[in-house]
């Protein structure tokens, strides 16, 4: 029954148009650019929390400046990802690389929620001269590892059939 749902997505006129025209490479390119922008912003905040980059800026300043960019880029990446998914939904749904990518994205989302709703909220005025907590550094390191995993799994999606 679930496979029928995925097949019905593939037969949508939009899915067929995307898959059969220049729209697919355009959407794929927009997906890559948006992910690059999103992960660049996330990486800068994570590296700052780890004390490895931008240490003259407070975490709150970097977060305030970069998180909005990351959120917009996530929206574009999500929309373009769905657009690509529907062109081969039934194949992607059973693709181990795609399943791993989705799992890692969920874990990365939980990690972001922990950072912003728990850790960051209690340290909103981090001073550039003050080291971040061990918990914050652990979440930042986890973020980097999870997003690397998402990217690697994403690259494998098209190569595992």
Contacts of 15 (CB under 8 A, 6+ apart): 9, 86, 87, 89
Higher pLDDT, 122 or 50: 50
The string of pLDDT tens digits covering residues 44-90 is 999 999 989 988 888 888 888 999 999 999 999 999 999 999 999 99
Token code pair at residue 17: 């148009």
Q: Which residue has the tokens 């080291």?
A: 131
Token code pair at residue 38: 């999103």
pLDDT for the residue 81 = 96
pLDDT for the residue 134 = 86
DSSP class per residue in 72-93: HHHHHHHHHHHHHHGGGHHHHH
**Cα end-to-end span (Å), the chain:** 21
Residue 161: pLDDT band (50, 70, 90) is low
Q: How many domains does the chain have?
A: 1
Radius of gyration of the chain (CA): 18
Tell me the whole-structure pTM to 2 decimals: 0.88
Quote the percentage of the chain above a pLDDT of 70: 94
Task: For residues 122-140, give the mean pLDDT.
Answer: 76
Residue span of the structural domain in which 151 resides:
2-157
Token code pair at residue 118: 């728990």
Residue 132: pLDDT band (50, 70, 90) is confident
């Amino acid at each position: 029954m679930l496979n029928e749902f995925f097949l019905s997505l593939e037969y949508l006129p939009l899915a067929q148009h995307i898959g059969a025209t220049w729209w697919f490479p355009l959407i794929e390119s927009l997906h890559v650019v948006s992910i690059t922008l999103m992960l660049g912003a996330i990486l800068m905040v994570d590296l700052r929390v780890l004390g490895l980059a931008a240490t003259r800026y407070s975490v709150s300043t970097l977060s305030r400046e970069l998180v909005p960019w990351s959120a917009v880029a996530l929206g574009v990446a999500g929309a373009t990802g769905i657009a690509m998914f529907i062109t081969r939904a039934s194949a992607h749904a059973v693709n181990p690389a795609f399943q791993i990518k989705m799992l890692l994205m969920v874990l990365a989302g939980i990690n972001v929620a922990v950072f912003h709703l728990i850790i960051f909220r209690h340290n909103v005025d981090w001073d550039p001269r003050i080291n971040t907590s061990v918990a914050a550094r652990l979440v930042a390191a986890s973020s980097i590892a999870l997003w690397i995993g998402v990217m690697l799994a994403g690259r494998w999606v098209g190569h595992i059939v």
